[in-house]
Amino acid sequence: MFSAQGEDWVGRIDALTFHDGPFVDGRIVLGHGDPLTLTAPRDGRALPVIAAASPGDVDAAVRSARRAFDEGEFSRLAPRERGRVLRDVAEAVHARADELALLIALEMGKPIREALETEMRAVVNCFRWYGEAADKLIDESPVTGDDSLALVTREPAGVVAAVVPWNFPLTMTAWKVAPALAAGNSVVVKPAEHTSHSALLLAEIAAHAGLPAGVFNVVPGHGAVAGRALGEHPDVDVLTFTGSPEIGRRFLGYSAASNGKRVWLELGGKTASLVLPDADLDKAVRATADGCFYNQGQMCTSSSRLLVPRARRDEALEIAAAVAADSEPADPLDPATGMGAIVSDRQLERIAGFVRRAPDDGARVVAGSAARREVIPGGSYFAPAVIAADPSHEVAREEIFGPVLSVIAYDDLDDALRIANGTEYGLAAALWSDDLKAVHRVSRRLRAGVVWVNCFEEGDMTIPFGGVKGSGYGRDKSLHAIDKFTDLKTTWIDLS
Ligand code: NAD
Ligand code: MN
């Protein structure tokens, strides 16, 4: 399992299950919104059209979620039993991981190997982990004195809505859905337009594995219609969002204009990878370039800024350019491929624009270009770019969400920290050094939710993931994620 090798993935496309409408109350229903017409970025082929959710369909999903929550078939199960259902979901998803991975690779163009061996492994692991955690949560009874008993208990919030992006579509979904369900909530997921088919199949698999109708609904649809309808719905208790800062902040407005629901935002990033003078430059630059190009650069954590001592910038550029040359895009459905297609032509044009404009700022394109690559006719392919940039240049400031690495020189540690912290974002940072004191002192001064030291993108389910500043404040993963979807209740009992 979780191996993409030796399969004829193209030959398996025809056997895939595609759903054509929202998954509400345990079944696929007719959507009343404008249809979602989707194409595969691998070769531009049309994927089956989905009748998208209208605001009325979103309302039906929220009512179903509320009914399921109130009736308690899942929400009031003993935590041990809820945990068992989540572990059954994990096993059912595991059994159909191939199909889900193939859908993801078709929908958004990531290599099948990554879709299966990284993404689906993470999804299965996430459901399993929260399934194992569900009955290990312990409430509090503060010591108050002889005449009273105080209980601080955690209760599920009720109806949780999740609005998620396409870059790690089912991982992001699982990171929200699994802890929300572990706590006993019902959920309504609005997947990104591009990755609606995989989300619908996931919900169906979860329902077959034992989640009662209404506990896990999926409303595919246009962001400004279905996403907004969830944001403004008066009966959604918690809304958890991962996506761009611009859209994320709108949800604060939707909340303010409706019921004041809690909104958790996990937004973009512009990760700095800071190489201290003592570090192994070759190792640090290779890991940073790989981290920047991974998932075709469509990562919130993409290590898109490499900060090196000024005297070593040329050397760093050379190493990064060599990594770029080794990362040519290829067919996502070939199990040997490490760099696949860009999600859409629109996104490709946006990425290319940053590379095209870079010289206007005075930046120097050292590897790659603004030209698209022809890999499969009709597909959206772009080769990685490496750019010698200053901190003020557009490529070094804005989230590109593509495989474009800015290599930036710094003069001393204060300068390096000023540059590293000098964007609106604060999601992740990387630090390269073997100097123990420097590692601790510098990592404390990096304004980021996650700091990786001498590694990149490492971690497991025990650690929270999320940002500070413009990157939002929500935290996925770990037991802390459960806090987002629960309310604390205080019960004070008079014993006098
Ligand atoms: P996006 O903000 O365009 O879309 C995210 C979701 O919001 C989608 O489901 C979309 O349909 C919906 N949406 C769009 N317009 C809407 C509107 N007007 N009202 C309500 N909902 C709307 O993001 P994207 O392009 O899907 O993903 C890329 C972004 O996501 C990047 O900025 C990236 O950094 C971020 N991201 C962050 C994390 C993290 O954990 N911090 C992880 C992955 C991606
Ligand atoms: Mn977008």
User: pLDDT value at position 433?
Assistant: 98
Place of tokens 């109708």: 213
Answer whether 0.85 is exceeded by the pTM.
yes
Q: What is the pLDDT of residue 254?
A: 98
At residue 229, what is the residue type? Answer: A
- The pLDDT tens digits for 119-138 are 999 999 999 999 999 999 99
Q: What is the pLDDT of residue 237?
A: 98
Query: Considering only CA atoms, which residue is closest to atom 22 of ligand 1?
Result: 223
Ligand 1: which residues within 6 Å by Cβ? Answer: 163-167, 172, 190, 192-193, 223-224, 227-228, 231, 242-244, 247, 250, 266-269, 300, 399, 401, 427, 467
Six token digits for residue 283: 């190792």
Q: How far is the CA of 430 from the centre of ligand 1 (A)?
A: 24
Sites in the chain below the pLDDT cut of 50: none
For residues 176 and 205, the answer to whether their CB atoms sit within 8 Å is no
Phi, psi torsion values for 59, nearest 5 degrees: -60, -40
- 272-459+467-471: what fold? Aldehyde Dehydrogenase; Chain A, domain 2 (3.40.309)
Question: Of 224, 234, 241, whose CA–CA distance to 161 is shortest?
Answer: 241
Which pLDDT score is estimated for 1?
73
**C-alpha to C-alpha distance for 111 and 113, rounded to whole angstroms:** 5
- Listed in sequence order, the residues at least 6 apart from 236 whose beta carbon sits closer than 8 Å to its beta carbon are 62, 159, 160, 161, 188, 230, 259, 261
Locate the domains of the chain by residue range: 10-267, 272-459+467-471
Per-chain mean pLDDT for the chain: 98
CA distances from 140 to 150, 155, 194, 345, 458 (A): 8, 13, 43, 52, 33
CB 289 within 8 A of CB 324: yes
Tell me the two tokens of residue 134. 């569900």
**Ligand 1 atom closest to 268 (CA):** 34
- Start-to-end CA distance of the chain, whole Å, equals 61
Neighbours of 50 (CB within 10 A): 24
Arch. (CATH architecture) of 10-267 = 3-Layer(aba) Sandwich (3.40)
- How confident is the model at residue 25, as a pLDDT? 98
Which atom from ligand 1 is nearest to the alpha carbon of 471? 41
Q: How distant, in Å, are the alpha carbons of 84, 185, 233, 366 from that of 213?
A: 17, 13, 20, 54
- Amino acid identity, residue 319? I
Strand 364-367 and strand 385-388: pairing?
antiparallel
- For residue 385, give the 3-state DSSP assignment: strand
Ligand nearest to the CA of residue 346, numbered in listed order: 2
| Under 8 Å between Cβ of 203 and 187 | no
- At 282, is the secondary structure helix, strand, or coil? helix
Would you please indicate which residues are annotated as catalytic (active-site) residues? 266, 300
